[in-house]
Amino acid sequence: MKRKALLFSVLGLLSSVLGATAHAQIADGVTRTRIAGLDVVAYKTGVKDVVYLRGSLPAGDNKAPADNVMLPTLVGGMLERGTTKHTKNEIADQLEAVGASINFSVGSHMVEFSARCLAKDVPLVVSLLAEQLREPAFTEEEFNRLKQQTAGGLQRALESTDFRATDEFSRAAFSPGHPNHNATIEQRIAATQNAKLEDLKKFHAEHYGPAHLTLVAAGDLDVTALQGELAKSFAGWSGGTPPLSTPKNAPTDAAKEQTVFMPGKTSVNIVIGQSTGMRYGETDNIALRAGTAILGSGFTGRLMANVRDKEGLTYGIGASLGNDTFADGDWKITATFAPALLEKGIASAKRQLNTWYQDGVTADELARRQDNLVGSFQVGLSTTEGLTQTLLTTLHRGKDLGWIDRYPQIVRSLTVEQVNGAIKKHLNPDEMFLIKAGTVPGAAPAAK
């Protein structure tokens, strides 16, 4: 396996070096067909031997029944725990023998899967992927183990200041029923413990199928052969439910400032933010993204340059716009402070936020950030794995694949007026929530 891992490392490097796709017209090279009900997007790159697969189907958390918010997550967790034909260990052994991998995850809207393998092993990986999606074993033993591990992971999350701050923010900023509003940890633990195996089987039968499944493949592809393998492995499968439409977020009556007291912590995590009422595909989104990056992206952002580097008040701080692929999302500043520096740190972050909001960004800042955004985007396209992610994400965002080729020009055409206008239109610092999680000076544990 060490030799296999080394091989993938070398091939991954080659895919970066050889990947001329960053500067080519992506859309022109795409082959898109419907195979056995699946929406299949294939792109042959110059990299040799490696193939990446990535895909999704709309069976995420927003389709959870009212009586159990964890059902989609638990169903997704059972996909890699054996099928009606092979145990999970048999599948793992087959993949390990050829240095391949298949992974699953469940998000707010989608179950996503990814796979990587050598070109010669595409038939094996496609066959196993189809088997896992179509025929999970749903054994009682694996189900009980999954419930225990899931509940344990949620219990451990209660000790993370970062998690607790962002989790509490989701309930402050988003109304119940919105996909960005999280159930509490306690609710999720209870739902996990109360889940019934028959309910998982029913959910899988109702929501899994090819009708709205998208599969993206890139790398050293024989596209015709791939289509043949998919047709064979997914033949006879039917079903699947369409994505749910999501209404705009409704304002909440949550307190604007909240503290999650956690004793014995050496740091406090904070979130300052709001819902935006905007999805990625809307007109101002990229302008606001560029402005947000100027404020808080990495070491070149204003927040790091001032709150950390100049004033020495934080371990890390940044700003982001997110959770907006399938629904209207959020804008937030996240930061970590020592308890003794908490109030100074918050005051400094708010000063930077207010200056940015009132005065906007400069032409020089925008020009530098445009170069950075375009460069990062093109670097992502230069790897086979990154290319599959970009192709799938573009489809998730409701864009045509030609948008990938247009993105650099979209970013470069932004003006200072557009960016500053988007900041003022969609944000309001006076209405933002402030969430603190950790050993907050002067606070006390919540009453039981």
Q: Is the residue at 336 inside a domain?
A: yes
Same domain, 95 and 225: yes
Q: Which residues of the chain have a pLDDT value below 70?
A: 1-24, 446-448
Q: Is the residue at 242 inside a domain?
A: no
Same domain, 264 and 214: no
Contact assessment for residue 4 and residue 95, using Cβ atoms and an 8 Å cutoff: no
Per-residue b/e over 372-396, b at no fewer than 16 CB within 10 Å?
bbbeebbeebbbbbbbbbbbbbbbb
Same domain, 337 and 216: no
Give the pLDDT score at 441: 94
User: Which candidate, 232, 229, 28, places its Cα nearest to that of 119?
Assistant: 229
Written as six digits, the tokens of 137 are 């074993």
Q: Which residues on neighbouring strands pair with residue 319, listed in sequence order?
A: 333
Same domain, 51 and 166: yes
CA 105 to chain centroid, in Å, comes to: 10
Give the pLDDT score at 13: 40
Same domain, 80 and 162: yes
To the question of pTM greater than 0.95 for the whole model, the response is: no
Contact assessment for residue 182 and residue 256, using Cβ atoms and an 8 Å cutoff: no
Same domain, 126 and 50: yes
User: Which candidate, 294, 232, 264, 284, places its Cα nearest to that of 427?
Assistant: 284
User: Which candidate, 419, 420, 421, 401, places its Cα nearest to that of 411?
Assistant: 419
CA 267 vs CA 162, 170, 192, 376, 436: distances in Å: 10, 21, 30, 31, 10
Same domain, 206 and 281: no
Q: What total of structural domains would you count in the chain?
A: 2
Same domain, 288 and 206: no
Q: Is the residue at 444 inside a domain?
A: no
Q: Is the residue at 249 inside a domain?
A: no
Those residues with Cβ within 8 angstroms of residue 427's Cβ, 6 or more apart along the chain or in another chain:
274, 276, 288, 331, 357
Same domain, 146 and 40: yes
Task: Find the CATH number of the domain harbouring 115.
Answer: 3.30.830.10
Phi, psi of 319 (to 5 degrees): -130, 150
> 3-class DSSP state for residue 83?
strand
Same domain, 96 and 157: yes
Pairing assessment for the beta strands 38-44 and 50-57 based on DSSP bridges: unpaired
Pairing assessment for the beta strands 30-35 and 38-44 based on DSSP bridges: antiparallel
Give the pLDDT score at 20: 44
Q: What's the domain range around 396? A: 257-438
Same domain, 14 and 81: yes
Q: Is the residue at 240 inside a domain?
A: no
Same domain, 225 and 266: no
Contact assessment for residue 173 and residue 240, using Cβ atoms and an 8 Å cutoff: no
* DSSP-assigned letters across all residues of 323-339: S-SSS--EEEEEEEE-G
Give the pLDDT score at 315: 85
